[in-house]
Each structure stands twice: as structure tokens, then as C-alpha cells.
Amino acid sequence: MTSRRTTSLAALLLVALVAPAFGQSGVDQIDSNTERVPLHTVIPDYPDIARRDRVEGNVQVCFNISRSGYPRRIAVRHSTSRLFEKIAKKAVRQSTWKPLAEDEQESGIKACRTFRFSLVPVTRDEPD
């Protein structure tokens, strides 16, 4: 009986250690409607509390891009859960775009980025 209990405990421990590797959640970023070239794009981490509670959702963050390439006036336009709003805004705040040359005009159109938080792993295409 002790051997069976030890085997069951070992199997349970193995599942507990391996399951998180296969149950990783992902965040997919759907790029914005801007013609500005991104230099550094930050993808937010899935919030632990949302993963624990099995919450999925989308957040659309809109903002202006300054001439120097930094986002400003960042605001959430649409969100399916407040759990994702703060971290999505932080990701946009940490992202940068190519600065405009002195002779280039800045478009007055707001840029928007949508982040999809999904418990199913997201595959990302590798750049060429």
C-alpha cells in the first residue's frame, strides 16, 4: 500500500510540475491603424489574478504618438475586463516608434492597439 501511495504522490507531483508548462496563457497584439514604424513593442504579461480566475478578454488602447516616437494621451477605448486595462496601458507607455524627420508631417489620427488575452497559448510568427 505504501508503494502505491508513493507512486500516486509522485504522479501527482509530476502533473503539478509539468501542467503549468502546457497551460501557459498568451497575449496577442493586434497592431494599430497607424503608419508610424514601431521600434520597440511591449506585449503585456498575462495578469496572475486573471489567469488564476480563468478570465480572458480584449483591451483596445488608443493614444497619440509624439514626433519623438513616444506615446502620449493613452486611454482605454474598449475593454472586456478591468483586470487587463492597467497592464495594457503600461505596455503601450513602454513602447516606442520611429521619430519623424524634421520635414515629415505628424498625422492627427489617434493610434489604437488591441491586446487579446487568451488562456490558449498564442503562437507568434518569427520575423524574417
Q: Say if 4 falls within a structural domain.
A: no
Give how many domains the chain has, as a whole number: 1
Q: Say if 35 falls within a structural domain.
A: yes
pLDDT digits (tens, 9 = 90+) for 11-58: 333 333 333 333 345 777 676 667 788 899 999 999 999 999 999 999
Q: Say if 55 falls within a structural domain.
A: yes
Residue (of 55, 91, 93) closest to 74 by Cα position: 93
Q: Say if 62 falls within a structural domain.
A: yes
Instruction: State the CATH number of the domain containing residue 42.
Output: 3.30.2420.10
pLDDT digits (tens, 9 = 90+) for 102-111: 888 877 778 9
Residues 6+ apart with CB under 8 A from 39: 69, 96, 97, 98
Task: State the residue range of the domain holding 58.
Answer: 24-118
